[in-house]
A and B are shown apart, each in its own frame.
Chain A
């Protein structure tokens, strides 16, 4: 059983389109995260939800909107995609916020052409 799963694994789309990435965890965790990893492997947090409440919202363009319908799911919707949005997006989860191990999904490679 996959602990943290993401769909799709690969996403190729054109500039200006709107797309969503879905994340699900079956670990019973309360906290979920979205990270962006650029082409140089640099990893930066974007958002975090705890019990469906947004607790971390980094400086991210408002074209990015996370949505957490329940504790097990955290989706990422991106409007008006730009070339610079091309990256690998990782979802993660942890028991709670604060020094708990984070479990990462396999990533979604987004390519904007």
Chain B
């Protein structure tokens, strides 16, 4: 079945530091890949997505590139802010058939200190 593995947290950074959160996946076919963010006390929000190999998703300074050869979708940001403190989830959606469901990684808690 489909699965997503993302780096264990928590991750603690200082403001303006570089962020990488690793995500790798296992899936058959050509899944779509997502990063969702959950701010404290809220539901999840889509941060970015990529639907085919070599696509780059980007939003709010965050980027991730769909790498089929390494089955990865790592999240990066060049300079984090305190307001980026949240839990980040990597997810995939299977292709075709009845695979219309998101499979999430376990989430990575990011704390950014001023």
Choose the segment among B11-19, B21-29, B74-82, B101-109 that binds chain A (4+ C-beta atoms closer than 8 Å): B101-109
Cross-chain contact B102 with A102 (CB below 8 angstroms): yes
23 chain-A/chain-B pairs, Cβ below 8 angstroms: A31-B100, A33-B101, A40-B106, A41-B38, A41-B87, A42-B106, A42-B107, A43-B107, A44-B104, A45-B101, A45-B102, A45-B103, A55-B98, A55-B100, A56-B98, A90-B43, A97-B100, A98-B93, A99-B32, A101-B46, A104-B43, A104-B44, A106-B42
Residue from the list B43, B46, B51, B109 in contact with A107, Cβ < 8 A? B43
A4 close to B (CB within 8 Å)? yes
A4 to B42, CA, bound (A): 12
Question: Could you say which interface size class chain A belongs to?
Answer: 20 to 34
Once the chains are docked, how many angstroms separate the CA of A99 from the CA of B51?
8
Interface positions, chain A 5-50, Cβ under 8 Å from B, are 31, 33, 40-45, 48, 50
Number of A-B contacts defined by CB within 8 Å: 54
In the assembled complex, the Cα of A106 lies from the Cα of B40 at a distance in Å of 10
B interface with A by C-beta (< 8 Å): 32, 38, 41-46, 49, 51, 87, 89, 93, 98, 100-104, 106-107, 109
Q: Does residue A66 face the partner (Cβ distance < 8 Å to B)?
A: no
Contact with B along A65-95 (1 / 0, CB 8 A): 0000000000000000000000000101000
Residues of chain A lying within 8 A (CB to CB) of residue B46: 101-102
CA–CA, A4 to B98, complex, Å? 24
Evaluate contact between B45 and A98: CB separation under 8 angstroms.
no
* Docked CA distance A97–B46 (Å): 16
Residues of B within 8 A of A92 (CB): 43-44
- Establish whether residues B100 and A41, one from each chain, have CB atoms under 8 Å apart when the complex forms: no
0/1 per residue, A100-112, Cβ < 8 Å to B? 0110111100000
